[in-house]
Amino acid sequence: MATPAIVGVMPTVTLLGIAQDGGRPQPGCQRACCADLGPEDVRHPVSLGITDEDGQGHLIEATRALGDQLRLWGHPSLRSVLLTHAHFGHVDGLGLFGRETLNASGLRLYASASMHALIERTPQWSLMVDQGVFSAQSISSGAVQMLSESVRVEPLAVPHRAELSDMHAFVVRGPNKSVLFLPDHDRWEDTLAHHGVSTIREWFAKLSVDVALVDGTFWSSDELSGRSQLDVPHPPVAETLERLGPKRDDDPEIIFIHLNHTNPLYSETSEQHRVLTELGWQVGQQGMSFTL
């Protein structure tokens, strides 16, 4: 459900990165997927920029590619940072807001109670809170947060490896459209059961979203050489497509993000990319934006 329209600039969201935590190319990878990549092939860890009706910026995830992502976004004046969870690529840029780099002040830092507890236990991060770089703002599943008069976010708890913190997806709602940001979760059956639904379509209809940016980490469960999907659980894109089938007229746009460096969807000439797009779905592109 959209927020009542506010006169002024229409708010937007911008996809500032589409890669899994390691980015592309991934450090240490010497396989064909990362060999001989040029600057045009670099993909940042996943992040989403929200620009409200006043031109203020609200950033979901704090990655080490923050500088490049701010340039891609057009350097809006930042008002807040929102964190989904504590895994490395989603938080390893928090220190860049400190005195040594951006020297930010009074940024609202939206995170769950378990994420804030981790921040308090991490000396560098807790120091930044003490110095006033961040102003801690707690989130909980289903509790709406107003980022501006016309933009609000709704956190959604989803099952994902919780070694350090729990995990929340976000629905970003504007005057006319809503966008789901779901970069990580373990298994569709667990996520759907957690929200009391049986299918992906039922959940997205319940959320009333127009665009869904969803976990596309791996194309298939056998993609990780020498590692089990039990070690790094994410629903394979092939499974998601099997659950969805072809796009229907009343479906939201479903766009796959958080792609591991091994994912064949990076290649627009791959068979996997062809299968996905012929079904009517999309692969995320760094810099793509949506008006809210």
Task: Say if residues 69 and 23 touch (Cβ distance below 8 Å).
Answer: no
Is the pLDDT confidence value at 164 over 80?
no
Is the pLDDT confidence value at 161 over 90?
no
- The stretch 152-180 carries a mean pLDDT of 91
Compute the distance between CA of residue 64 and CA of residue 91 in angstroms, rounded to an integer: 8
What is the reported pLDDT for 32? 86
Confidence of residue 7 (pLDDT cuts 50, 70, 90): very low
Query: Is this model's pTM higher than 0.75 or not?
Result: yes
What is the reported pLDDT for 129? 96
Token pair 């009517």: residue = 280
Residue 63: which residues within 8 A CB-CB, separation 6 or more? 17, 44, 45, 46, 47, 69, 89, 90, 92, 93
More confident: 240 or 166: 240
pLDDT digits (tens, 9 = 90+) for 48-97: 999 999 999 999 999 999 999 999 999 999 999 999 988 888 899 999 99
Tell me the pLDDT of the chain averaged across its residues.
92
What is the reported pLDDT for 8? 62
What percent of the chain has pLDDT above 70?
A: 93
- Domains of the chain in sequence order: 12-291 (3.60.15.10)
What is the reported pLDDT for 52? 97
Task: Say if residues 105 and 132 touch (Cβ distance below 8 Å).
Answer: yes
**DSSP classification of residue 217:** S
Structure tokens at 161: 């490896």
Is the pLDDT confidence value at 162 over 80?
no
Q: What three-state secondary structure class fits 273? A: helix
Confidence of residue 159 (pLDDT cuts 50, 70, 90): confident
- The stretch 192-214 carries a mean pLDDT of 97
